[in-house]
């Protein structure tokens, strides 16, 4: 019977010391059955290797560093309408339908997906779901999008709706 190779096997193949494995676990934020969580990420990336980013993960913004080593596939918009808000950082609500969200598509791997999950606090703060996007070349691409968890939404004066679903426009208007 053949054994499925996992990311854990790569650590063992490299004869990584126990301390280094512990540090890798800690750094990745994987608690409990971390091998199962790594394998789940690998399965999810096989569903679609694309992520749609609409805020500080876009090219030219600070968090784009997390996508280092990847290449932007295309500028894109969501096929379905959602609602974008911003309070220093942008967030999209799935439950409200006001505009198509504009952003960028990146082709990623399971390691990048995990890093994005950590940044976005998936699944508590943001929830990662698959949406359909339309590229500049009129190609429909399924991609992961991080939606803000509606349960965390609080109405405050400093939250502004981005009527056109474009975070770059929002940033240009407030500067």
Number of domains in the chain: 2
Do 160 and 80 fall within a single domain?
yes
The CATH number of whichever domain residue 93 belongs to comes to 3.10.490.10
Residue 68 annotated among the catalytic residues of the structure: no
Do 61 and 98 fall within a single domain?
yes
Return the pLDDT at 95.
93
Asked if 119 contacts 65 with a C-beta cutoff of 8 angstroms, the reply is no
Return the pLDDT at 41.
83
Q: Is residue 1 part of a domain?
A: no
Q: Is residue 111 part of a domain?
A: yes
Q: Which residues pair with 100 in a beta bridge?
A: 81
Do 71 and 146 fall within a single domain?
yes
Q: What is the pLDDT of residues 1-38, one digit of tens each?
A: 444 434 434 434 444 444 444 444 444 555 567 678 77
Return the pLDDT at 7.
40
Do 74 and 152 fall within a single domain?
yes
Return the pLDDT at 9.
42
Asked if 58 contacts 104 with a C-beta cutoff of 8 angstroms, the reply is yes
Q: Is residue 2 part of a domain?
A: no
Return the pLDDT at 157.
65
Do 104 and 130 fall within a single domain?
yes
What percentage of residues in the chain have a pLDDT greater than 90? 61
Distance CA 101, CA 99 (A): 6
pTM of the model: 0.78
Of the candidates 68, 120, 132, 139, the residue annotated as catalytic is: 120
Q: What is the pLDDT of residues 93-139, one digit of tens each?
A: 999 999 999 999 999 999 999 999 999 999 999 999 999 999 999 99
Instruction: Check whether 172 has a pLDDT greater than 60.
Output: yes
Mean pLDDT score across all residues of the chain: 83
E strands of the chain, at which residues?
50-53, 72-87, 89-93, 99-107, 126-135, 140-148, 160-162
Return the pLDDT at 31.
57
Do 130 and 166 fall within a single domain?
yes
Do 38 and 56 fall within a single domain?
no
Q: Is residue 16 part of a domain?
A: yes
Do 61 and 129 fall within a single domain?
yes
Domain, as residue range, for 40: 7-45
């Amino acid at each position: 019977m053949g054994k499925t190779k996992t990311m854990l096997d790569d650590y063992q193949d490299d004869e990584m010391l126990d301390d280094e494995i512990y540090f890798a676990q800690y750094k990745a934020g994987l608690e409990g059955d971390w091998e199962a969580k790594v394998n789940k990420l690998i399965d999810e990336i096989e569903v679609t290797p694309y992520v749609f980013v609409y805020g500080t993960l876009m090219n030219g913004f600070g968090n784009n560093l997390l996508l280092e080593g990847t290449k932007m596939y295309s500028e894109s918009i969501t096929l379905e309408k959602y609602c974008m808000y911003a309070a220093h950082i942008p967030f999209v609500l799935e439950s409200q339908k006001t505009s198509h969200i504009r952003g960028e598509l990146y082709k990623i791997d399971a390691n990048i997906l995990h890093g994005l999950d950590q940044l976005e606090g998936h699944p508590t703060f943001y929830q990662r779901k698959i949406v359909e996007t339309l590229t500049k070349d009129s190609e429909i691409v399924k991609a992961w999008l991080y939606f803000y968890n509606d349960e965390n939404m609080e109405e405050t004066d400093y939250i502004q709706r981005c009527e056109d679903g474009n975070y770059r426009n929002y940033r240009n208007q407030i500067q």
